[in-house]
Amino acid sequence: MIESDDPPPQKPDPPDPGDCCGGGCVRCVFDVHEDALERYREALAAWRVRHPDVKPAE
Chain CA centroid to CA 18, Å:
20
Mean pLDDT of 22-39: 96
pLDDT at residue 56 above 80? no
The residue-averaged pLDDT of 30-51 equals 96
The predicted pLDDT at position 54 comes to 84
CA distance 19 to 11: 18
The letter for the amino acid at 30 is F
- 51 Cβ contact partners less than 8 Å away, ≥ 6 residues apart: 1, 3, 6, 8
Residues with Cβ within 8 Å of 3's Cβ and at least 6 positions away in sequence, in order, are 51, 54
Give the residue from 53, 20, 24 showing the smallest Cα distance to 8.
53
Q: What is the model's pLDDT at position 4?
A: 72
